[in-house]
Amino acid sequence: MLALIITISCVFIDQITKFLVLQNLKGSSPIIVIENLLTFTYVENRGAAFGILQNKKWFFVVITVVSVLILLYVLFNHYNTLPMWLLVSLSLILGGTIGNFIDRMRLGFVVDFISVRFFNRYNFAVFNLADSFIVVGAFMLMIYILFLEQKRSK
């Protein structure tokens, strides 16, 4: 049940923010939230992270469907045996993946809007909340594999 709540919450939050971005930022000037650090700007990403593999929609569709099926299999077939940390990490990854998949299928691109600048000099790739959920989930998964799984198996 927790996995379903986290996944649906991630998809809902992601899609609401992207809807607001489409309504308020598309065709408008960027919104500076924190000068030289955080800006909201409208970007249509037809590729993957950092804009690689532009216009390879069907490649991403296949990869996403396979990823979602694997995550669903693990979550539903091993739900009662998964540690909470792992359950949350996989649910975040699933929610973010579905959020970006909805964009790709509905719009033909992923809506990105969060622009971060480091040390007033380095611009990071523009991203969205689904990307953030995936990264946080992947980071949690990495921590689990590197540090927590060993303790659990002993």
Q: What is the pLDDT of residues 51-100, one digit of tens each?
A: 667 767 788 889 999 999 999 999 999 888 999 999 999 999 999 999 99
pLDDT band at 50 (very low <50, low <70, confident <90, very high): low
Q: What is the pLDDT of residues 93-124, one digit of tens each?
A: 999 999 999 999 999 999 999 999 987 778 88
Average pLDDT over residues 119-140: 92
Backbone angles phi and psi of 31, in degrees to 5: -105, 120
Residue 59 C-alpha from the chain's centroid: 18
Describe the strand order of the beta sheet including 38-45 as a list of residue ranges. Answer: 31-34, 38-45, 110-118, 122-123
Question: pLDDT at position 153, please?
Answer: 58
Averaged pLDDT for residues 7-36: 96
Active site residues: 112, 131
Mean pLDDT of the chain: 91
Write 52-59 long-range contacts (CB < 8 A, 24+).
Answer: 57/104, 57/108
Q: What pLDDT, on the 0 to 100 scale, is given for residue 120?
A: 77
Among 29, 51, 48, which residue's Cα sits nearest to residue 40? Answer: 29
pLDDT at 143: 95
